[in-house]
Structure 1
Amino acid sequence: MVDLIHGDDAAAVNALRSAVMRLSRRLKHQRVDESLSPTEMSVLGTLARCGSATPGELARKEHVQPPSMTRIVTLLEGKGLVKLEPHPDDRRQKVVTGTERAAAMLEESRRKRNAFLAGLVEGLDEDEWAKLREAAPVLEKLAHL
């Protein structure tokens, strides 16, 4: 389908890409802990959404190589944001779980980013805000395809 997009649709795709990237960059600046990389925050978010996982499972979900995930998990463990426990079925593996500190940090991050977006939304008229509310589930679907 991508090869078939021309004219107005191609312009819309380009505008969507550009807007999503700019908004994403602005949201990334709304960080609670500047010592964590975006990848580290993403791993904590994945653990919060999906529950405990092995480093290999996390690497697949985050689209990074397993050795990179091992380094990330080690850094997060050193910061007290994850704990490692023996795998219940395979003692050669570990299971990574987010800590209460990580959950509190993620909640504060969500609160700060939501407040930032709410401030932006105040600049929209009611029609624009209604369209954005309707688009949110579609954008969510795109994010997970």
Structure 2
Amino acid sequence: MFPPPSTDPASTLRRAVNRLGRRMRAERLPDALPSGRLGLLAQLYREGPTTPGALATALHVQPQSLTRTLAALQEDGLVTRVRDAADGRQYRIELTQSGFAAMARDVEHRDAWLRARMEAELNETERELLRLAAGLLDRLAADEWPADERPSRG
């Protein structure tokens, strides 16, 4: 017999966030791009043009693993490579109008689904509480934790 799930606040939050994340991914449009491509477009959508190395760092992947995804997105006309004006040796990856439209369409679809669920399931106070919690979750997700304060992964 397995022990019941932990009631530790961190475990409870992790399970809820993971479950909502899976549910949001399930609410994709039928013709949506694969999730790896959407993740890359989403990063550019949120943060704007960047170098492939910075994009890999932001997505927590090796730069080599982005090569095929970037090539496919470029071939589909969703991103473009532009030589960096400040450093001509570097390229910056940018969303094209089509890439921006694809992301906006995906975001609008998922936001509409979540908005409808929130309005159907939650009262005004609960919706406001979630709005406040979203800011806290963004803070927890930030990559700005000083390295010397980061817990070990052992």
Scaled to the shorter chain, the TM-score interval is 0.7 to 0.9
Normalised by the length of structure 1, the TM-score is: 0.83
The equivalences for 1:66-85 within 5 A come to 66-85=63-82
- RMSD of Structure 2 on Structure 1 (CA): 2.0
Contact 2:32 2:106 in 1 (8 A): no
Aligned residues with identical type, % of pairs: 35
Question: Which SS does the other structure have where 2:80 is aligned?
Answer: strand
Q: Counterpart amino acid of 2:116?
A: G
Compare the two structures and name the one with the higher helix fraction: 1
- 1:81 Cα offset (Å): 0.5
Q: Structure 2 vs 1, CA of residues 90 and 125 (structure 1 numbering), >3 Å: closer, same or farther?
A: closer
Distance 1:80 1:32 in 2: 19
| Other-structure match for 1:42 | 39
CA deviations 1:12-32 (Å, max 9, x no partner) are: 211111110010011112223
- 1:68 Cα offset (Å): 0.8
Q: Structure 2 vs 1, CA of residues 72 and 95 (structure 1 numbering), >3 Å: closer, same or farther?
A: same
- 1:101 Cα offset (Å): 0.6
Instruction: State the aligned residue count.
Output: 137
- 1:128 Cα offset (Å): 2.2
CA deviations 1:24-46 (Å, max 9, x no partner) are: 01111222364522221121111
CA deviations 1:30-83 (Å, max 9, x no partner) are: 223645222211211111222211211111111111111122110111111001
